[in-house]
Structure 1
């Protein structure tokens, strides 16, 4: 066995090794993808409602949303498995909207793996090459290299039922990478794995994508997975893209209440604008009685708003810094931090408590605390039902 793959005897996929083995033979360069006005309805119900996006060559993009948001239907239209009612899909400027899925030359990794149970691991990986008419000697070479780099050589003669879930997922990934697709679509491929293996596979998939320059479009409902993997994330709701941005942009500059609450579960503090931002910051008089100073946001004084702050950005402070005070209801230790809830003074009945995550020594339930946040960590939204 070559020195590069000596450390793979345990069957753990090494992205660096896999990329190094595959790349010298065929440079894998992703292609750009453009989506314009993509729509799809079923029985009069619109499930995708005018999706527009530009995805750069070599970019890792994730569709993130809850069930029914339209993310998987959008992916299926990109793959060609579902025909859109209207709109276009283009790759490197070439319209492929009506092109047969088999002629798009995309790679597709499913959650269920979809390995052929009657075939061995080697036969499963070889199958897409056989479909493409690759010569047998070349098939044997590519399959052997890919399986060796993935730490699966010793499983080449086994059937899928004889493998663990993680091993089956690596076979599914190898089956895609073996034919060097410029664009890879992944539909919740890690959903069936346990957390430890899922975390490991996230790192490996991202590393392989970067090393080989693949364009990857990934679907998940797991927020942490999306943040770890993605160059950009499209957050979807009711068939629409609420915001298409970098993980940092989504987390720190949400454009809608839905994005603020969906990604990171923001606290919303209702109040009235006192200073509309002409002074370089926006002052909000909270309904609970305190005053909160946020980054400048164009607002008319007197306007009703909601200030959004993520749990990790609220902090316990001294009375002189406080924007609100309250009583600790719960304090739960979760390892690297403690999650506490605080009932603000003066909060209206039915108002949810503030959620705070802190690495500092936490207060005990029943203690009174002062709470504040930095202006740059606060987003301001009109006080309407946007989430």
Structure 2
């Protein structure tokens, strides 16, 4: 597997480490489909990824994110569709002929080689002169914050350092696209947070095009320029982190990216400026303008962090606080709305110093711009 990793990332040594990104579309995926027997793993997805973009495939297990990445890398052959990198159709090319970098969750370092030798190995396969190899390895280690580590063995490094070495090996010859398959999944949270910062810094400093796979919503929001939220082999929404969080196109996206609260109701008024919804609990909630008409049964979605506890008479909903959970700088609160069913619970997150107490009767308020409205029965 280690040899496969190195070979799959071969690229002409004439491309300098500090090469610019250009302004074109280095990657185009068009109606790519993959099935396994009667199961459809990826269902005709399409996307355009620009030079220098950090794009994340986000989804739960079985959503198709890793299969899509593997088809781009060449490890899985699609049933139909096309994959174009830098204007070249690579759909049927072997991995080693695509010139893409790949970083796995497992570090896949050669244990008998030093750090410098691990990073140099793909350049040696390409016959790069020794002096040029030394220059590139040194430059890459410097960029990754590993200067002085060239003579160490992988077993002498921490998990985070080993993952950075694997990243160095993938970018030492500056491939047009670097693919990362949950590279931080095996690390603890503190180390993941540190490496997220490092990966983003390196990507921006070098202008790299990165496609990243994760099931961690926070990680996707922190790293990405755009996120493809995947479900059942399809892309539900492909957008910036802010648009996904604040303007979800489907209930699934609203729930997956922030565990939104959903409250049923009926549209009382819909204009170019706003939507007014009469909730089943009896309150009235105002939302930003959306494509729904008066009389439509809907579900409104509000993220827990966008709800504010207020006086009972000042909110769109009144309820009794059922639980208060301290999680550091935030407190998670659950409220049982008056007029709702026993299964209707609203969750909110508030600063630790402003949390209500269990048993308090409070109102809930939200800015109209933070409220999404979906027609009842909308998939997801």
Normalised TM-score (structure 1): 0.90
Instruction: Tell me, yes or no, if structure 1 residue 386 matches structure 2 residue 379.
Output: yes
The aligned residue for residue 192 of structure 2 is 198
Alignment counterpart, residue 224 of structure 2, candidates 230, 239, 259: 230
- From 333, 347, 350, the equivalent of 1:355 is 347
Secondary structure in 1 aligned to 2:152? coil
Shift of 1:237: 0.3
1:262 matched residue in structure 2: 256
Paired with 2:171 and 2:16, the residues of 1 have a C-alpha distance of: 14
Distance 1:145 1:298, change over 3 A: closer
Distance (Å, rounded) in 1 between the aligned partners of 2:287 and 2:137: 57
* Helix, strand or coil at the partner of 2:354: coil
For 2:39, the equivalent position in structure 1 comes to: 45
Mark the CA change 1:173 to 1:316 in structure 2 (over 3 Å): closer, same or farther. same
Per-residue deviation at 1:70?
0.4
1:116 aligns with 2:110: yes
User: 2:283 matched to 1:294?
Assistant: no
Q: 1:206 to 1:150 in 2, by over 3 A?
A: closer
2:19 to 5, 27, 35: 27
1:244 counterpart residue number: 238
Partner of 1:187: 181
1:147 aligned to which of 132, 141, 146? 141
Q: Residues 100 and 379 from structure 1, CA distance in 2 versus in 1: closer, same or farther, beyond 3 angstroms?
A: same
1:207-226 matched pairs, under 5 angstroms: 207-226=201-220
**Matches of 1:97 and 1:136, distance apart in 2:** 34
Q: For this pair of structures, how many residues does the alignment match?
A: 363
Q: Is the 8 A contact 2:21 2:51 kept in 1?
A: yes
1:230-273 Cα distance to aligned partner (Å, 9 max, x none):
00000000000000000000000000000000001100010111
Residue of structure 2 in register with 1:57 after alignment: 51
Kindly state the Cα deviation for residue 158 of structure 1 after the two structures are TM-superposed: 3.0
C-alpha distance in 1, partners of 2:51/2:361? 53
Contact 1:28/1:181 (8 A) holds in 2: no
Distance in 1, matches of 2:297 and 2:190, equals 45
Match of 1:129 in 2: 123
* CA distance in 1 between partners of 2:76 and 2:173 (Å): 23
Question: 2:82 aligns to what?
Answer: 88
Q: Work out which of the residue numbers 26, 36, 60 in structure 1 matches 2:30.
A: 36
| Distance in 2 of aligned mates of 1:214 and 1:378 | 35
Match of residue 14 from structure 1: none
- Equivalent residue number for residue 330 of structure 1: 323
2:302 corresponds to 1:309: yes
Question: Which stretch of structure 1 is more off in the superposition, 144-153 or 336-345?
Answer: 144-153
Go from structure 1 to structure 2 and tell me whether the alpha carbon gap of 1:369 and 1:26 turns closer, same or farther (over 3 Å shift). Answer: closer
CA offset at residue 173 of structure 1?
Answer: 1.0
Aligned-partner Cα distance in 2 for 1:46–1:269: 33
1:37-58 per-residue CA deviation (whole Å, 9 max, x = no partner) reads 0100112210000111010011
In 2, Cα distance between equivalents of 1:145 and 1:94: 29
Deviations 1:265-303 (A, max 9, x none): 10001011111x126221111111111111122323222
CA contact (8 A) 2:82 2:91 kept: yes
Q: How far apart are the structure 2 equivalents of 1:146 and 1:307?
A: 49
Q: Extract unaligned runs of 5+ from structure 2.
A: 1-14
Quote the Cα distance in structure 2 between the aligned partners of 1:142 and 1:280.
56
What is the TM-score with the length of structure 2 in the denominator? 0.91
Cα offsets for 1:135-174 (capped at 9, x unmatched): 2221122223323443434432333222210111111011
